[in-house]
Amino acid sequence: MDNFTFYSPTYFIFGKNTEKDTGKYVKRFGGNKVLIHYGGGSVIRSGLLDRIKVSLDEEEIEYIELGGVKPNPRSGLVYEGIDLCKKEKVDFILAVGGGSVIDSAKAIAAGTLYEGDFWDFYEGKPIEKALPVGTVLTIAAAGSEGSPNSVITNENGMYKRGTKAEVLRPVFSILNPVLSQTVPPYQTACGIVDIMAHLLERYFTTTKDVEVTDRLIEGLLLTMIHEAPRVMKDPNNYEARANIMWAGMLAHNNLCGVGRVQDWASHNIEHELSALYDCAHGAGLAVVFPAWMTYNMKHDINRFAQLAVRVWGCQMDFANPENTAREGIEALKRFFKSIGMPSNFKELGAKEEDIPKMAHKACYSGTRNGTIGGFVKLDEKDVINIYRLML
Amino acid sequence: MDNFTFYSPTYFIFGKNTEKDTGKYVKRFGGNKVLIHYGGGSVIRSGLLDRIKVSLDEEEIEYIELGGVKPNPRSGLVYEGIDLCKKEKVDFILAVGGGSVIDSAKAIAAGTLYEGDFWDFYEGKPIEKALPVGTVLTIAAAGSEGSPNSVITNENGMYKRGTKAEVLRPVFSILNPVLSQTVPPYQTACGIVDIMAHLLERYFTTTKDVEVTDRLIEGLLLTMIHEAPRVMKDPNNYEARANIMWAGMLAHNNLCGVGRVQDWASHNIEHELSALYDCAHGAGLAVVFPAWMTYNMKHDINRFAQLAVRVWGCQMDFANPENTAREGIEALKRFFKSIGMPSNFKELGAKEEDIPKMAHKACYSGTRNGTIGGFVKLDEKDVINIYRLML
């Protein structure tokens, strides 16, 4: 196991009706003048935004609003939010929504306390300070409610880039699974894939002797496999929504990634798809991951076989572990298909002719200098091959 | 799943040589005048205390010392520590040792900021403030390095009582598995049992649909089962020590216990044994847990069968799940025996004639009013029966 630090200081409030305490927690964590940041009209139509405003009013907390965050959140709205926060002397950002809203809120939080262009942070500049961010989560997927990460798409060239800083971890996150019951089936499934992908990115490692994190990842994957069909069958299944929502946070606050090399090439490869075609990140990952696994399993057959046996319940083929490894990948594909996810470029709306361009961007975006991935280093040619497996 | 809050804000620094940064973290978390609290001579003999002092000197942090914490830490030394801290205007407690030292440090931290008798907190009074506590862990067992808990034995009557408060969570904990390599085999095994007991206390629940925490607990138990024989065979196996040490923290920071009823009767039953005979807490638990399980499995045979199948690899007896449940208990007993743990009163040095007295204390100590346990409510007669299963 490698040396590591782990710090997950977010205060989590989980369960039914918990959003009624939003004002209390904003106050507890120092908010006096709040920007409420959200997406489309669903939080308005559902009455959630009103309930949150009542809760802020009860604590006599001032607030302003900025809605309009889109999936794959854009730089334009971030600039708008930063200007607004600077002008209005906002001291707390409250994100009401899913990963896109929270990621956008984090970008605004860091940008407000910075004199330069916030995009610098997404080009590799370390973030030293940010306004505190609180969240009220409405969809289980990105894990941004507990993570130090934020991903933004720069509209100037449609570059999708991530940043990461301890100061971006939300100070509190309110997780009420009931709020996710209105998420449509397709988006629910995309969230499930995203959560599983966060686990798999950490699972594929070159670090030896990481039983404790292996077992945590496997446990959370087993949870997802158990709960996903239940929630697809009945969107109002509170218990399934609850298990998935909490697993989604645990999948990405790095509990499962400490002390081990992680991969993340599949995320890099997917980001080019969602940046170019504006497809859902989870749908993109459902296409990318099996291809990435097929291409790379030869580098550690036993790790892929371990996944197949422990998570998918495959029988180990001791004479030929590669069969078991491959069986595990097939099980993952069938699972993604069973929850209505796409399995190839065509179903995703992606085009073969864009492959070279995407592969180049994937390998050279931001601070990358030609290779991606921690488990296996992939160059542009490898990434082209992986994209081609998705045709 | 029940509603819950989860807040684990401890900053963990894990790995080789990490104790050299102790001074840096004390400073970061506001310590100017430190009480270094420790146990016997082993931290002196090993040179650990000297290395920590060098690290504090480098940051120009003042310190005083109080050694002498014994296993099952006593109230006497806590009073001494509180007097010292008040007199010397200490603003930070640094615990160097295992669970006993950390628990004692937490008691001093709370008592120093309190005008009354610190024992009030162990009789049920809520703790509102405490000095910050940092830890350098030397043994994987109690999980006190990440937990809000503290257990102290009052020498006036040998009452062993616990308290719990968010302000008792350490602000930082340094976990270097190398420091645990010198722990003798018996204490290593006691630590392993303690960790597994923290997981099992949370596993036995009446809350339905808690797949996510079930799977986390099972994953950590599987980790312990994998790593324990490796460390018993070779005390210097760093990787095994590392996996066990991190699992020990995760077993008790309540990651595995959120949103579910927990049991804890076995701990209550054991505390009377270690209070009376001063046996190691882990050794006591190794005797108590199989007895508690045997006595209570009828209340939810399928939960016991699930543990047997998922953790111990038993084949499910679908015609008679009770056989599987029982097989799981036998596997646990064999496991404890394999790492050199006692299995009955005699091996523990406990006496049959003390059973009624212990059962009474277990059911009526502190705020308890005649019953213990969350999974099954046990009265004094039940506890007597459970003690008798250990003869």
pLDDT at B193: 98
A227 touches chain B (CB under 8 A): yes
Would you say residue B167 lies in a domain? yes
For residues B158 and B203, state if they share a domain. Answer: no
pLDDT at A374: 97
Would you say residue B2 lies in a domain? no
For residues A253 and A306, state if they share a domain. Answer: yes
For residues B164 and B199, state if they share a domain. Answer: no
Domain endpoint, select from A120, A147, A179: A179
* Mean pLDDT, chain A, integer: 97
Q: Sorting pLDDT into bands at 50, 70 and 90, what band is A367?
A: confident
Domain endpoint, select from B179, B198, B217: B179
Average pLDDT over residues B330-349: 98
For residues B154 and B255, state if they share a domain. Answer: no
Give yes or no for residue A158 having a pLDDT over 80: no
Give yes or no for residue B159 having a pLDDT over 90: no
Among B246, B307, B316, most A C-beta atoms within 10 A, so best to mutate, is: B246
The string of pLDDT tens digits covering residues A27-85 is 999 999 999 999 988 999 999 999 999 999 999 999 999 999 998 899 999 999 999 99
CATH number assigned to the domain comprising residue B48:
3.40.50.1970
Would you say residue B118 lies in a domain? yes
pLDDT at B185: 97
Tokens of B101: 């030292």
A4 touches chain B (CB under 8 A): yes
CB nearest to B212's CB, from A13, A18, A247 = A247
Q: Do B246 and A1 touch (CB under 8 A)?
A: yes
pLDDT at A63: 98
The string of pLDDT tens digits covering residues B79-135 is 999 999 999 999 999 999 999 999 999 999 999 999 999 999 999 999 999 999 999
Contacts with B18 from chain A: Cβ below 8 Å: 3
Q: Do B236 and B181 touch, CB atoms closer than 8 A?
A: yes
For residues A140 and A209, state if they share a domain. Answer: no
Smallest CA-to-CA distance from A89 within A58, A121, A113 is with: A113
For residues B234 and B321, state if they share a domain. Answer: yes
Distance between A253 CA and the closest CA of chain B, angstroms: 12
Would you say residue B5 lies in a domain? no
The string of pLDDT tens digits covering residues A160-187 is 889 999 999 999 999 999 999 999 999 9
Domain endpoint, select from B124, B154, B179: B179
Rounded Cα gap, residues A331 and A343, in angstroms: 13
For residues B205 and B319, state if they share a domain. Answer: yes
CATH number assigned to the domain comprising residue A296:
1.20.1090.10
Would you say residue B51 lies in a domain? yes
Name the percent of chain A lying above pLDDT 90: 95
Could you list the residue range(s) of the whole structural domain that residue B260 is in? 185-389
Give yes or no for residue B158 having a pLDDT over 80: no
Would you say residue A199 lies in a domain? yes
Say what the ipTM of the complex is: 0.96
CB nearest to A3's CB, from B10, B15, B258 = B15
A9 touches chain B (CB under 8 A): yes
Would you say residue A330 lies in a domain? yes
pLDDT at B229: 98
